[in-house]
Every structure is written in structure tokens, then in C-alpha cells.
Structure 1
Amino acid sequence: MPDFLDVSILLAVLTSIISIYAWSHPELYDRWIMSPYLVRKRGEWYRFLSSGFLHADVGHLLFNMIAFYSFSQLVQMIFGAYFGELMGAGLFVLLYFTGIIVSDIPSYLKHRTDYDYRSLGASGGVASVMFSAILFNPLGSIRIMFLPIDIPSFIFGILYLIYSYYQGRRMGDNVNHDAHLYGALYGILFTLVAIPKSALIFWSQISDKYL
């Protein structure tokens, strides 16, 4: 058992239950999915958050929840150490939920007059947690799928940002890469504001290793 309040399990279970339920209940799916047009037309602002509890299929759900849980442990532990168990858990939940919301703002602004545009998934929140963890542990090993090598997490983060930016400009694969990009940037900003020392933690590890 971890020595901190692990709320990531509760969030992952809740998200999984809602996603699975929505697959067989299209009325909930339609009511909760992110639709910038309906947000603007009807004032359904709750969709910024509710869409984070929906996923397209089993693969989408598993990928997001496994990535979320993998990176959340370190972030929860450090938040708990700095702010106390309850406040640290609260800040972690705030990071995740606001990451989902903030990462959808660029998509809303871009597609608010597009009736056909829809997006869903917790990717923005997951990216926020992921990049918060990278700030604390930039030299952690990450294995890219299908490649038999591990790379430092900060290198993965750089590649992730470049890929998300490039794919977001292309808009050719029906994935909301903008949510990945802005969720990641928001996670960095949130962590720097919450724990300014995280910048020194990041830099000291990088400089000790490479400089």
C-alpha cells in the first residue's frame, strides 16, 4: 500500500465505469461528449469536464487509465509530502480535472461554430499528470511502444510535445492532439505554481547527469 492517499485508483475506476456504461447508453454519451457548438449554443459548459469521463473504446480507455495511474503515483506522493496528505490529494484531483477542462479550451475556440465536431477522453488530464511527474523525475525511464529501448522521461516529453503540435496542425487522424499539447503545458504550469522548487528539482537532475 502507498504511504499517501491514492485517489488515482478512485478516479480511474469511476472513469472506467462511466465510459463502459456510456457505450450502451447513447443518450448519456451524446449528453456528455464535448461539442463546442452545443456548449456555445446551449451554454452546456459542463461538457468541458464530463467528456473526460467518456472514451471511444476499450483500447482508448485502457491506454489513458494505465498512463494516468503510472504517472500519478509520483505526483501524489510529492504533493502529499509538500502539502499534507489531504491537501496534496485535493491538489492532485484539481490538477487532473482542470487539465481536462483547460486542454479543451483551444478546441472549443477553434470548433465552436462546427456542429459536427466532437471530442472525448481524459487525455488532457492524463497529459497534465504525466508532465507534472516528468518535472519531478526527468531521468525516469520510459519505453516507447514497439521499440526495445528506454529513454529518459524528459526526452519523451520533448518528443511528445513536438508530435502533438505537429499532428494538431495536420488534423488528419481524428485525435484531439491539441488536448494532449495544452494538457501537457498546463501540467507543467500548474506544478511550477504549486511547487516552484520543482523547476530546481528538474534542472538539478538534468545538470548532474549531462552537464
Structure 2
Amino acid sequence: MQNAYHPPSSFGLFPPVVKNLLILNGLAFLAQVIFEARTTEPFDAITRLFALWPIGGPEAIQFRDGLVEFGTFQPWQLVTSAFLHGGFGHILFNLFGLWMFGGAIERVMGSKRFLGFYLACVLGASLLQVAVTSWPFLMGDGTGIPIPTLGASGGVLGVMAAFGLLYPESPIYLLFFPVPIPAKWFVLGYAAFSLFAGVTDVQAGVAHFAHLGGMLTGAVVVLYWLGRLPLRPRTRPL
């Protein structure tokens, strides 16, 4: 296995799954912008239907300024929420991460396996996040305001976890930190911060448990394929 990694410099050189994920996320964000511009409600139709909403939350709440309608949980949101974003900075950060790490992982896994891997990370992220956000409503506290979760971060961070396992010594360069960090320490540090921030809620509005769910799923799947877990894979190892 290679010990160094260099991201592709041309969009045409991207492997097919990463390329199509970038395109689909871009098209979904464009649709969001169009729908948001056509509504005066806090949540547009795309967000209410396809973002990830907590189970058991109220469908609407009467505020002083009027009635606000929320979305309700639907099974497809476990996947569709990963193609929606909360703003240009949000999608730019996620697609940059997919560009930076995804190509190398797809080439190692192959496109078919990588697609299944990415979707597994998305599902792992969504399941942990919906469990955390649904807990207050399912436990009888119906006074809270349901907040939708959206973004590709769970899938992208699952890919980043795979990168840390497969290319542990590859340097990661950060704009605000002049010294390169080995990928394995960067991934572990990010996971530790996400756990701390999720438990303490120091970064409100960020789905830290979705990040953790994606990273944990990605790490477990890669370790399984590498044969490092008690349960051995039946398919071709990485």
C-alpha cells in the first residue's frame, strides 16, 4: 500500500463515485437556494421533507410571530439529509474534505465498494444523530424545538477515518497550523474534539454526534475489511 497521497489536480481525474457525489451535492444545494428564495417560512419544503428530523418532535409550534411548521422524521431522511447543507461555507468544507480524502479511498476500495462504504458511513452518522436528537421527545419532554440535521459531514468524516487507517503517516496540512500532522493523529484529534464538543455542547448547532457516528462506522468497516476484527471478511480484503 502506498504511504504517500497526492490529490488529483483535475476534475476529470476524479474516480466516478467521488465525482458524482460532488455533482449531486452541488445540484442539491442549488435546489435549496432556489426553494429558500421562494419561501418566507423558516423551513422550506426541501428541508422539511429531506433533512433529518428527530423522532417524536412536534409538527408545528405556535409562536408570537405565527405558526411554524416543522418536518417529521421519515426513513429516507437518513440518506437524503447527507446531500443538503446549511450554507455555502458548510458545503464548501464538506466537498473539500471529500475531494481531499475520497479519491484515494475509492481507488483503494474500488468504486462499487466505496459507494457502499460511503452510504454506510452516512447511515451510521444519521442513526446516532437521530437517536441523540430524538431522546428528549421520546422521553416525554415535548417542550423542545425540533432542529433538523443536514450535511455530508458524517459520510465525509467516515472517509477521513478510512484515510487515517490506510494512510496513517500521510501529512495533513492545515491553514492555521504551520506544521503537518500525520493523518492518524489528525483523525484521532478530530474524533476526541467531536466527542468533547458533543457531550459539553460547546459548539451549539453542529451535529457532533453525526460526525462521531460517521467516523466510528468508517473505522469499523475498514478494520473489518483489513481483517483486524474477530469477524473476518468473506470478500477481497483491502
Distance 1:9 1:55 in 2: 18
SS in 2 for 1:129: helix
1:33 aligns with 2:51: yes
Q: Which residue of 2 aligns with 1:51?
A: 81
**Residue of structure 2 equivalent to 1:186:** 217
In structure 1, the partner of 2:24 is: 14
Matched residue, 1:92 = 114
Q: In 1, Cα distance between the equivalents of 2:129 and 2:73?
A: 16
Secondary structure in structure 1 of the residue aligned to 2:177: coil
Q: Deviations over 1:163-195 (max 9, x none)?
A: 010001122421001111121111111112223
The answer to whether the 8 A contact 2:15-2:103 is kept is no
Aligned partner letter, 1:196:
G
Deviation sequence 1:119-147 (CA, Å, 0-9, x none): 11011100111111111110111123311
1:37 to 1:115, Cα distance in 2 relative to 1, 3 A: farther
Instruction: Trace 1:54-73 onto structure 2 (pairs within 5 A).
Output: 54-73=84-103
Q: Secondary structure at the match of 1:148?
A: strand
Q: What displacement does 1:197 show?
A: 6.6
Instruction: Provide, for residues 10-67 of structure 1, a one-character-per-residue CA deviation record: whole Å limited to 9, x for no partner.
Output: 1111111102211221211221111023699966110111100000011100110010
TM-score by length of 2: 0.73
- Length-normalised TM-score, structure 1: 0.82
- Alpha-carbon distance between aligned partners in 1 of 2:103 and 2:157, rounded to the nearest angstrom: 14
Taking structure 1 as reference, are residues 39 and 65 closer, same or farther at Cα in structure 2, changes over 3 Å only?
farther
Do the aligned partners of residues 144 and 135 (structure 1) sit closer, same or farther apart at CA in structure 2, a change above 3 Å counting? Answer: same
Q: What is the aligned-residue RMSD (CA, Å)?
A: 2.3
What is residue 129 of structure 1 aligned with on the other side?
159
In structure 1, what is the Cα distance between the partners aligned to 2:45 and 2:219?
36
Which structure carries more strand by proportion?
Answer: 2
Tell me, in whole angstroms, the C-alpha distance in 1 between the residues paired with 2:58 and 2:111: 33
Structure 2 gaps of 5+ residues are 1-11, 36-43, 60-71, 138-143, 230-238
Q: What letter corresponds to residue 185 of structure 1 in structure 2?
A: L
Contact 2:153–2:210 (CA<8 Å) still a contact in 1? yes
Is residue 129–residue 213 contact of structure 2 (8 Å, CA) maintained in 1?
Answer: no
Deviates more, 1:147-156 or 1:34-43: 34-43
SS of aligned partner of 2:172 = strand
Contact 2:52-2:73 within 8 A present in 1 as well: no
Distance in structure 2 (CA, Å) of the matches to 1:169 and 1:34: 20
Q: Larger Rg: 1 or 2?
A: 2
